[in-house]
Copies of this chain bind each other. A is one copy, B any other.
Amino acid sequence: MNANTAEYLLELRVPARADRMVVVRDTVRSAARFCGFDERTAQDIVLAVGEACQNVILHAYEGRGGGPILLDILDDADRMILRVTDFGPAVAPTAVQPRALHDLRPGGLGTYFIHALMDSADFGRSPTGVGNVLQMTKKKDPAI
């Protein structure tokens, strides 16, 4: 994970409300460009973070709003690291799995997208003991 050599790019805290997510997306797009990704890959990273935030709104806070979303972005030599933290009740990582694609069933796509778009995605408890963290990484050179 090389988190030791990674440089902190930003920490963003926003209320977990659907109407605010456009600001999160714009920040992530800007950070992805800063890390050197092209527009298409930046858009993929934006979608992955958008899905992660959507899960926090719908599942961690069950649409109640109010709770915060914390987004940490680190710029490592060979990859970008993004962590989405919620302060909802503890969730077993096994509960957060991409479902099989059912062609005509709405829903269940979020975690699938995250895994398809990123090089890694790990769900777990926050190191501070409060909240759940989804850590995602995206390699700068897909060949590595």
Q: Does A90 contact B (CB under 8 A)?
A: no
> What separation, in Å, do the CA atoms of A20 and B8 have in the docked complex?
10
Residue of B nearest to A7 (CB): B15
Q: Is the CB of B9 within 8 A of A10?
A: no
> Which of A8, A9, A27, A29: most chain B Cβ within 10 A?
A27
> What separation, in Å, do the CA atoms of A135 and B23 have in the docked complex?
21
Q: Does A3 contact B (CB under 8 A)?
A: no
Nearest CB of B to A61, in Å: 15
Q: Does A45 contact B (CB under 8 A)?
A: no
Q: Does A30 contact B (CB under 8 A)?
A: yes
Q: Is the CB of A13 within 8 A of B10?
A: yes
Q: Is the CB of B9 within 8 A of A23?
A: yes
- Could you show 6 A-B contacts with beta carbons less than 8 Å apart? A22-B34, A23-B27, A23-B30, A26-B27, A26-B30, A27-B27
